Structure 1
């Protein structure tokens, strides 16, 4: 039988499971229910606009009997003014749920990453890591609240922490592309990240090897005699391939008979397949490596026949032995391009060999080799 008494800490303490409920004698509709597991929940029953509702005030232990009483009085006052407090609470609950479903994290996980994965799995994985690394601050943001101002503040902090402008430019392009998809898929109405302008970057500063440095690098390769490293470096010098493209190579991508190498679209940054002719050095180094590694599966495998994922320590040892500083593996790509330009190869051909989607990236090499410029102006001196 329900108990009728004032709901207090004492009366709640005496409530038994067989009582099932206790109805407050002072506030109409204020009551508490007890479950077979002795869980006590406070409620307020009321009628409004011809409807009846049971508003949950809270669970005993999370709130006290006195707090439940005060909350009941507050809600009764709202009902008296015509507010359906239960309906309001339901709307807030739905709004909260919807807000969780429209955060950047949810959009990435449920829509954007699966879409990228269907287009290019490797690009999707790289993009996912880039978002996790760069945009952890925004993961709980509503998509609509990721504004140009928020991104500007984020960028200023990144630049102050030593992140290079070129890096922040790439990262901002990532989130711009993501929000543009959200607009296209009608998840949000619009975004204003087009207001975030790219930082000016001097792309003309390109590091490449001098003749003496290249000579020392080759001497150190022969001295260290690390077979896979030698093959990788000579291949990079003669093809301009990125490290990821080289390590993703499989033997069925290489046609030694026709002396051509194919970079599969799934492994290319541009997402486009390209074919690179093998010159004599590239052909010879791959032919020699094939005798060691075999001609099945990935081109570069370790002793356990697992794909090589990196070679940073060997690369560092090579640079140290060759006494070369301020030089990354990616700079071998610049070195390849610079040698082509200095050999008077037209920029569009350089663009095709490098796999650039447009000529803008390739134009950074147009000014290379000052000695060639000097020779050109001296023709009319």
Structure 2
């Protein structure tokens, strides 16, 4: 108990009720009894009032926060394990700092180095979003009480990438190349993608139960995790069911075939936009759908886009795109 008698006969209280790192209080009393009563009262206040309690520093390193994020939230995400691996690699490159000392400029320096190393702007933006979400989610769950250090960091502006697509002649060349493939699944998977706008992973992971009544129900590997039913021709439905009887693996319609598709693309020697590969099938479906007069809202549902802004990239391909401008502008009747 830090109570001492001064030379003038009064009693000095010099205490830290909240502990070693709590705030210091000095008071002078006329009697020792008053001084002791104050100490008892101050210690009681420290137990009840957070302002009196010591500020506990969060000394966890970034790697521990990432692990905690995965335990509480990431393990429930479809790509949780994959994202965990990427976050751990980022943490290693950042030097696994104490999280409470990690600041925006630390990430900015990391990002600048990644760009110098030739990593794409889009990849760096994904890293930024993943790490920022770790802090946001832990704050929401009450596991992180400080500010998100990446809240003020803006994502890099991306130049919209030109989308590749196949014309009728190129589709035929590709189909001929797929005919010569050893993989028995690859051509039919590509046909599903061109017929429905599905992503390769969505088509490749189909079960036979998802094909019925003239529809394919995409549900397992959808990016938005929302199911969508896409009408298909009677001919394609019969082909899928016949393929399952002959080549199916349990409930699965197909086996792995992506590598076989890439090899077929190389044999076909079709010029491709960098990084698009099987995605060209999805772009081709969407572009042709709009050229033939398809509705942009229907296309949004078919592609499974959560935002219409994503689908609007194809709007200019409609034959009547902005045609009303000719007649609905203020100079049209002059």
Q: Partner of 1:283 in structure 2?
A: 237
Match of 2:227 among 265, 273, 289: 273
Q: Partner of 2:203 in structure 1?
A: 246
Give me the whole-angstrom Cα distance separating, in 1, the residues matched to 2:245 and 2:108: 54
Asked if 1:228 is matched to 2:153, the reply is: no
Task: Give the 3-state SS of the residue equivalent to 1:261 in structure 2.
Answer: strand
Give me the whole-angstrom Cα distance separating, in 1, the residues matched to 2:232 and 2:95: 45
- Which segment drifts farther, 155-164 or 139-148? 139-148
Q: Partner of 1:298 in structure 2?
A: 252
Task: Give the 3-state SS of the residue equivalent to 2:180 in structure 1.
Answer: helix
When residues 133 and 311 of structure 1 are mapped into structure 2, their CA distance, relative to the original with a 3 A threshold, is farther
When residues 366 and 184 of structure 1 are mapped into structure 2, their CA distance, relative to the original with a 3 A threshold, is same
Q: Is the 8 A contact 1:248 1:267 kept in 2?
A: yes
Q: Partner of 2:266 in structure 1?
A: 320
Q: In the TM superposition, what is the alpha-carbon distance from 1:229 to its structure 2 partner?
A: 0.6
Asked if 1:117 is matched to 2:71, the reply is: no
Gaps of 5+ in 1: 1-47, 50-86, 89-94, 302-307
Match of 1:215 among 148, 172, 176: 172
Q: In the TM superposition, what is the alpha-carbon distance from 1:248 to its structure 2 partner?
A: 2.6
Give me the whole-angstrom Cα distance separating, in 2, the residues matched to 1:346 and 1:225: 38
1:279-316 C-alpha deviation (Å, 9 max, x unpaired): 35642441331231247322223xxxxxx3x531x223
Q: Partner of 2:119 in structure 1?
A: 163
Give me the whole-angstrom Cα distance separating, in 1, the residues matched to 2:108 and 2:235: 48
Give me the whole-angstrom Cα distance separating, in 1, the residues matched to 2:141 and 2:90: 24
Q: Partner of 2:216 in structure 1?
A: 261
Q: Partner of 1:366 in structure 2?
A: 315
The alignment yields a C-alpha RMSD, in angstroms, of 3.4
Gaps of 5+ in 2: 3-18, 21-54, 328-334
Q: Is the 8 A contact 2:248 2:254 kept in 1?
A: no
Q: Partner of 2:288 in structure 1?
A: 339
Q: Is the 8 A contact 1:251 1:296 kept in 2?
A: no
Q: Partner of 1:25 in structure 2?
A: none
Give me the whole-angstrom Cα distance separating, in 2, the residues matched to 1:220 and 1:154: 43
Q: In the TM superposition, what is the alpha-carbon distance from 1:354 to its structure 2 partner?
A: 1.2
Give me the whole-angstrom Cα distance separating, in 2, the residues matched to 1:294 and 1:162: 42
**TM-score, length basis structure 1:** 0.63
Q: In the TM superposition, what is the alpha-carbon distance from 1:245 to its structure 2 partner?
A: 2.0
Give me the whole-angstrom Cα distance separating, in 2, the residues matched to 1:332 and 1:299: 19
Task: Give the 3-state SS of the residue equivalent to 1:227 in structure 2.
Answer: coil
Task: Give the 3-state SS of the residue equivalent to 1:199 in structure 2.
Answer: coil
Q: Is the 8 A contact 1:207 1:334 kept in 2?
A: yes
Give me the whole-angstrom Cα distance separating, in 2, the residues matched to 1:268 and 1:275: 12
Q: In the TM superposition, what is the alpha-carbon distance from 1:225 to its structure 2 partner?
A: 6.0
Task: Give the 3-state SS of the residue equivalent to 1:366 in structure 2.
Answer: helix
Give runs of ≥4 in structure 1 deviating > 4 Å.
Answer: 372-377
Q: In the TM superposition, what is the alpha-carbon distance from 1:251 to its structure 2 partner?
A: 2.2
When residues 331 and 139 of structure 1 are mapped into structure 2, their CA distance, relative to the original with a 3 A threshold, is farther
Give me the whole-angstrom Cα distance separating, in 1, the residues matched to 2:102 and 2:169: 50
Q: Partner of 1:311 in structure 2?
A: 258
When residues 113 and 354 of structure 1 are mapped into structure 2, their CA distance, relative to the original with a 3 A threshold, is farther
Give me the whole-angstrom Cα distance separating, in 2, the residues matched to 1:337 and 1:202: 21
When residues 273 and 144 of structure 1 are mapped into structure 2, their CA distance, relative to the original with a 3 A threshold, is farther
1:355-376 C-alpha deviation (Å, 9 max, x unpaired): 111112112222348xx47996
If you compute each CA radius of gyration, which structure gives the higher value, 1 or 2? 1
Q: Is the 8 A contact 2:121 2:158 kept in 1?
A: yes
